[in-house]
Structure 1
Amino acid sequence: MTTPADELRAAAKELREYASTASPAPWAVNQCGNVETSGHEEMAEVWPLQAAPGANATYIALMGPDVGHALAQWLDYHAGMSDRLAQLFDDPPLIPDDHPALAVARALIGEAR
């Protein structure tokens, strides 16, 4: 049986793996509206599609690997909290099914409920 802590750890692991293989942070939007590293290496060409010009590139740059690592750490923290609650209670409440960390984890691993 998959517990909320398992889901949180799986998402943290996946996010950390992707963030670790991405170009180094910080990311920014260049004068052409594409995402580049701080070393000015263009890493993503972004077309506006249905968003306002620059909105997609700005969002991608904002969610760079530094944010990914921080989110993975946050997910691991909540997994640990879930484990501690399980140790304290015979019928553990773990974390509620609607907890924001669990929602993020499920979105990352594609298991939205």
Structure 2
Amino acid sequence: MTPADELRAAAAKIRDLTAEATGAPWATSWSEQQYEVKSPSGIDPIAEWTYAIATWEPEASEQRAECDTADADWIATMHPGVGTALARWLENTATSLTASTHPGWQDLIAADALAVARAVLGTPDQT
């Protein structure tokens, strides 16, 4: 598989995943003991984490401040809009790579894009 093929495969995988995902952007918020990732409609959470915290104020706010919400915040930041832009970048980078007789030149030109593509595809990064 050429570097351009890897970039296109990763872009296709991301596009497939974002096509099925709930609309973007996403945000996080508290709802009693649940920390939720929500879509713009905010009707149903996309994902939620339940914490053993008080349900009354001010104890609830104090305990929420101590909760590890990093995973939920990360998920909300990497919503389908980010995936769509990432897929477009990978595809554009693949398109810019043209045939050459110099072995390995694509790996050097598109090292960052290839690292992302390989992470998406779950293949070892060779850069």
Equivalences for 1:1-113 in 2 at 5 Å? Answer: 2-31=1-30, 32-40=34-42, 41-46=44-49, 53-83=68-98, 86=99, 89-91=100-102, 93-96=105-108, 99-113=111-125
Following superposition, the deviation at residue 60 of structure 1 comes to 0.2
Work out the number of aligned pairs and report it.
105
Which protein shows a greater Rg?
A: 2
Alpha-carbon separation, structure 1, partners of 2:107 and 2:95: 10
Following superposition, the deviation at residue 106 of structure 1 comes to 0.3
**Residue identity matched to 1:91:** H
Where has structure 1 moved over 6 Å in runs of 4 or more?
Answer: none
User: Secondary structure of 2:35's partner?
Assistant: coil
Residues 56 and 47 from structure 1, CA distance in 2 versus in 1: closer, same or farther, beyond 3 angstroms? farther
**Residue identity matched to 1:60:** I
Sequence identity of aligned pairs in percent? 41
Consecutive unaligned residues in structure 2, runs of 5 or more: 52-66
Question: Taking structure 2 as the reference length, what is the TM-score of the superposition?
Answer: 0.75
Are 1:46 and 1:56, in contact at CA under 8 Å, matched by a contact in 2?
A: no
Following superposition, the deviation at residue 53 of structure 1 comes to 1.8
Question: Taking structure 1 as the reference length, what is the TM-score of the superposition?
Answer: 0.83
Can you list the C-alpha shifts for 1:29-52, whole angstroms capped at 9, x where unaligned? Answer: 02132111111120112468xxx6
Are 2:7 and 2:91, in contact at CA under 8 Å, matched by a contact in 1?
A: yes
Alpha-carbon separation, structure 1, partners of 2:16 and 2:119: 16
Alpha-carbon separation, structure 2, partners of 1:56 and 1:102: 25
